[in-house]
Amino acid sequence: MTDIHIRQDGHAGHITLQRPKALNALTYDMCLAIEDALWAWRTDPTIKLILIDAEGDKAFCAGGDIAEMYATGTAGDYSYGQRFWRDEYRMNALIAEYPKPVVSFLQGFIMGGGVGVGCHGSHRIVGETSQIAMPECGIGLIPDVGGSYLLAHAPGRLGEYLGLTTDRMGPGDAIHVGFADLFIPQAQWDKIKSQLCASGDVAGLSQAATPTHNAPLRDVQARIDTLFSGASVQDIVDALSDDSSDFASKALKKLSRNSPLSMACTLDILQRLRAETPTLRRALDLEYRFTSRSMQQGDFLEGIRAAIIDKDKSPKWRHDMGRVPKADIAAMLRPVSGDRLTFEKRSAE
């Protein structure tokens, strides 16, 4: 498959995303190929670690390839998208639960599906160009691929802030929030990758890392914790509206662009996860409840139309901001009645 290069490289199982012109957007076949490789390497004694990287300077992976989802969804076929999400989420969990080190090198844009591939491993490396975000509320989805799990574990109310505003994190913020582990200057990456493959040992990564003190979100943590602590999106909107700061004004503007239903359900999922002992599998299950219904009952198709197809940037959402009935939130997040998300190894087809 030309979209992804999977091979054994010394002691490493090496996965390289290679669609740089498409910002390495993740296709359905790429998801399945990653999953199959991880299962094959799981019990291979010659494989000591997994190395995941990507071609090009602009992006590790800027999201999932949603063109086919839009085409099938607008034709009234929701099963393709549902199957894609089920298989993708199963692969995300496999990375997170892998018994061997999983090292990812995250340059440029890492968004949506890229977070699912790159931000659940044991050693997540960022560099000078890294920009990580969960932009799903802007297209009628929710932070998925396990993104809600990461956001629920973020300090204070940064999860709410990042999930609802879809703001980007630079390398320092990504480490502070919990989406990455180590900052290593990108000029050293090729040398370090070669060492990892030759040795099969991740011990040298921490020695190669350097501190990154630039974490703007950490500097506004207290303000975010105050403004985004509301029980509902309307509470957050009210708090932002009552705050005269430039920060609050910009945050409110970001919220105003996004799907009200998506934001309300994102907040509900984060609250559910925090109310219990959150696990990645639980987060993925809640995410799938939403995404499996997002075409028929949500704003996903309209969000894609406005952002990708017609590019008019004027989506017509189903609700007004802060005015989503609780019944509509509950309907999107009730247990799935059809094919459910499972985490067992995929059966041979």
Q: What whole-number distance in Å separates Cα of residue 50 and Cα of residue 12?
A: 5
Q: What whole-number distance in Å separates Cα of residue 93 and Cα of residue 123?
A: 15
What is the biggest distance separating any 2 CA atoms in the chain, rounded to whole angstroms? 60
In which band, very low, low, confident or very high, does the pLDDT at 278 lie, cut at 50, 70 and 90? Answer: confident
Domain membership of residue 135 (yes or no) is: yes
Residue closest to 290 by CA, chosen among 160, 162, 142: 142
pLDDT in tens, 97-156: 999 999 999 999 999 999 999 999 999 999 999 999 999 999 999 999 999 999 999 999
- Whether the pLDDT of residue 327 is over 60: the answer is yes
Domain membership of residue 344 (yes or no) is: no
Q: Which residues contact 63 (CB under 8 A, 6 or more apart)?
A: 23, 25, 26, 111, 112, 113, 114, 135
% of the chain exceeding 70 in pLDDT:
99
Q: What is the mean pLDDT of residues 300-322?
A: 95
CATH number, residue 257? 3.90.226.10
Q: Say if CB 24 and CB 55 are below 8 A apart.
A: yes
Q: State the DSSP code for 154.
A: S
In which band, very low, low, confident or very high, does the pLDDT at 348 lie, cut at 50, 70 and 90? Answer: low
Q: What whole-number distance in Å separates Cα of residue 233 and Cα of residue 235?
A: 5
Q: What is the mean pLDDT of residues 249-270?
A: 98
349 or 307: which carries more pLDDT confidence? 307
Domain membership of residue 177 (yes or no) is: yes
pTM of structure: 0.97
- Whether the pLDDT of residue 26 is over 70: the answer is yes
Q: What's the domain count of the chain?
A: 1
Burial class (CB in 10 A: 0-12, 13-18, 19+), 289: buried
Q: What whole-number distance in Å separates Cα of residue 183 and Cα of residue 121?
A: 15
Domain membership of residue 342 (yes or no) is: no
Q: Look at residue 166 in the predicted model and tell me its pLDDT.
A: 97
- Whether the pLDDT of residue 349 is over 70: the answer is no
Q: How do 131-133 and 109-111 pair as beta strands? A: parallel
Domain membership of residue 140 (yes or no) is: yes
Q: Which residues are catalytic?
A: 64, 113, 136, 144
Q: Look at residue 63 in the predicted model and tell me its pLDDT.
A: 92
Q: Which residues contact 330 (CB under 8 A, 6 or more apart)?
A: none
The three-state secondary structure class of 12 is strand
Q: What is the mean pLDDT of residues 225-229?
A: 98
Domain membership of residue 307 (yes or no) is: yes
Domain membership of residue 277 (yes or no) is: yes
In which band, very low, low, confident or very high, does the pLDDT at 347 lie, cut at 50, 70 and 90? Answer: confident
What is the gyration radius of the CA atoms in the chain, in angstroms? 20
Q: Look at residue 32 in the predicted model and tell me its pLDDT.
A: 97
Q: What is the mean pLDDT of residues 47-72?
A: 94
Question: For all residues of the chain together, what is the average pLDDT?
Answer: 96
Residue closest to 5 by CA, chosen among 60, 52, 63: 52
Domain membership of residue 340 (yes or no) is: no
Range of the domain at 137: 4-333
